[in-house]
Amino acid sequence: MNCFKRFRSSLNLKVVSICAVILVCTVSITFCMVERHQERLIFKQVESQARILFKQIVLTRRWIADHGGIFVEKLPWVEKNPYLKKSEIIDITGKRYIKENPAFVTRELSEYSKKEGLYWFHITSLKLVNPANAPDEFETIALKRFETEDIQELTTIQNVEGSKLFRFIAPLYVEPPCLSCHPGYRLGDVRGAISVTIPINHVYTSIRHNRIIMAVGTLFISFILLSVLYLSLRKLVIKPITGLKEALENYHGGNYINIKARSEDEIGVLYKSFSEMMKTVMSYQNSLKEKVQDATKELMLANEKLLETNKLYRELSERKSDFISRISHELRTPLTSIKGAVDYINKKLTSHKLDCENLSELEELLTFTEIISSNTERLTRMVNETLDLEKIETGRMELHFNDLELSHIIKGVLIDIMPILDKKRISLKTELESELFVCADEDRIKQVLVNLLNNAVQHSPEGDEITIEAYKTGEWVAVRVADNGPGIPPEKHKKVFQMFYKERQGGTGLGLAISKSIIETHGGEIGVISDGIKGSVFYFKLPFVKGKNGTVNSGCR
């Protein structure tokens, strides 16, 4: 009774007992599986040994048959084979020799091996020539099955006079050398069989010995594990809980608040100790409520200030956006006028070039007007791109989504940029799949394509080739633009999509940033692949919206 109460009140004993049950069950199952597997392996070794012996006997018989039998000296213990004609010869010295066939040699070898007690074998047949080869019960069953069934061997274990014997038997088939001694058979017929018998008492002794070793080892390992578990629980769990219990018992006062313990173990004692702390906790609650109220008031004031700060930030952001929009619009008008004037002057100077006397001065003026025109175009493009980027970031860019076939859009853009390609004698290679349906704003997607193609043309060597591909991959439509320019180092792949960042000379530094914003607004992905040595591949992906039945899966926004 005292032991039972101790068990109920001891967490350590509970945990160790549960672990002991689990450990014993696990180890027992493992032991049985390993023991059975080991037993199967041992018997497979015995079976393999019997099979090798059978094959060795067959090879010996075949060698004797291929040589027409063998002659051995007629010694006093050598018997003459009564089933062979002309089985005795005498050489010129007067020595007598007896001819032995495969069956006779097999029987003699079996008698030798049986005397050694290692194994023995027996040649037998249902159609006997020598009564000594008569089959026993196991051999008779096997021979009948060999003739009627397509089996190659049979095995069994027999208990004969207290000894365990492993029996193996396999058929003998008629071969060409056999026909001379066994007429009436055809090649491939079952002539008989050879059974191999191996004593296996030592095998069972070995199995019992292994079981004892494994059982002792299992008990020893279980004892060690349980001991370590018990000591670990006592040191790492029970003692800290006991210490906590003692600390909690000393940390109380005032009114007693009863909390019913769920058990009588250490955890139950911990519940009782915890109940003694409740008064102290309650005494702190009132003061905490006042502190929480004060903190809530302070938080509300801080929140109001934060709202005012956010409001001011939004106003500043709106003013910034408005300023950028205004200054961009203000810059567009004079830039357009300057560009028109420069183009007009350039045309006039070009048309009167042959009429002027001082051609060198005129050519110099033309050079300057071309520089002014180029920089004016660049500044105009920068203003337009800055305004577009601002609209995208502030959500004021109006996008018109429609169902588009992307390969058709790409072909149209390629026609538009042909003059730029011809200027640098750059060839274009296209690999475009059909039915690449996306939900997108056509103008903005064209803008991204133009930016990527202009970027490729700008950094490609003169007379080189640019490749553009479009294909479906999973639930996406991917577009790739590849050039053979100087390349972009891997650590700068993300920087090229930042505003005003230029890894290579030329451009405004905004085209790729705008392209990134447009693609991400469409729910897509954009990036670059390059080893930084030669060539770059800029790509973007958009969601594919056409289903297998030809209808749009999600529709356009």
Dump pLDDT digits (tens) for 113-167: 777 777 888 888 887 777 777 888 888 898 888 888 888 889 888 888 888 888 8
Minimal CA–CA distance to 169: which of 215, 208, 135? 135
Q: Pick from 420, 360, 451, 37: which is nearest to 214 by CA?
A: 37
Show contacts of 182-186: CB within 8 Å, 24+ apart.
182/129
Distance CA 220, CA 103 (A): 56
pLDDT tens-place string over residues 211-239? 888 888 878 887 888 788 778 777 766 76
At 256 the pLDDT is 47
Instruction: Using CB atoms within 10 Å of the CB of residue 102, give its burial: 0 to 12 exposed, 13 to 18 middle, 19+ buried.
Output: buried
Q: How far is CA 17 from CA 9, 226, 229, 238, 316, in A?
A: 13, 9, 10, 15, 71
pLDDT digits (tens, 9 = 90+) for 53-98: 888 888 877 777 777 777 766 766 666 666 666 666 677 777 777 6
> CB–CB of 407/437 below 8 Å?
no
Spatial contact of 221 and 27, defined as CB atoms under 8 Å apart: yes
The residue extents of the domains of the chain are: 16-206, 260-397, 401-543
Tell me if 506 sits within 8 A of 437, measured CB to CB.
Answer: no
Distance CA 104, CA 84 (A): 10
3-state DSSP percent of the chain in helix, strand and coil, to 5: 55, 15, 25
Average of pLDDT values for 258-273?
58
Which residue from 170, 169, 155, 160 is spatially nearest to 201, judged by alpha carbons?
Answer: 160
Please give the pLDDT value at position 541.
96
d(CA 353, CA 349): 6
Q: How confident is the model at residue 429 (pLDDT cuts 50, 70, 90)?
A: very high
Check whether 483 has a pLDDT greater than 90.
Answer: yes
Coil, helix or strand at residue 483 = strand
Distance CA 301, CA 304 (A): 5
Lowest-pLDDT range, 9-23, 430-444, 451-465? 9-23
The H or E element spanning position 137 is: helix 137-148
| Tokens, residue 485 | 């320019």
CA–CA distances in Å: residue 107 to residues 50, 142, 546 = 17, 19, 83
Q: What is the pLDDT of residue 85?
A: 64
pLDDT in tens, 342-361: 666 666 666 655 454 555 65
Specify the pLDDT at position 476.
Answer: 95
250: amino acid identity, one letter: N
Report the range of poorest mean pLDDT among 179-193, 383-397, 473-487: 383-397
Distance of alpha carbon 81 from alpha carbon 104, whole angstroms: 7
Cβ–Cβ under 8 Å, residues 120 and 108: no
Contact by Cβ (8 Å): 438, 399: no
What was the pLDDT predicted at 365? 61
Alpha-carbon span 179 to 244, nearest angstrom: 96
pTM for this model (two decimals): 0.38
Q: Are 415 and 539 in contact (CB under 8 A)?
A: no
Cα angle 124, 127, 132 (rounded to 5 degrees) comes to: 45
Contact 86, 100 (CB under 8 A): no
CATH number of 401-543: 3.30.565.10
Considering the segment(s) 260-397 as one domain, its CATH architecture is Orthogonal Bundle (1.10)
| Coil vs helix vs strand at 87 | coil
CA dist., res. 336 & res. 379, Å (int): 10
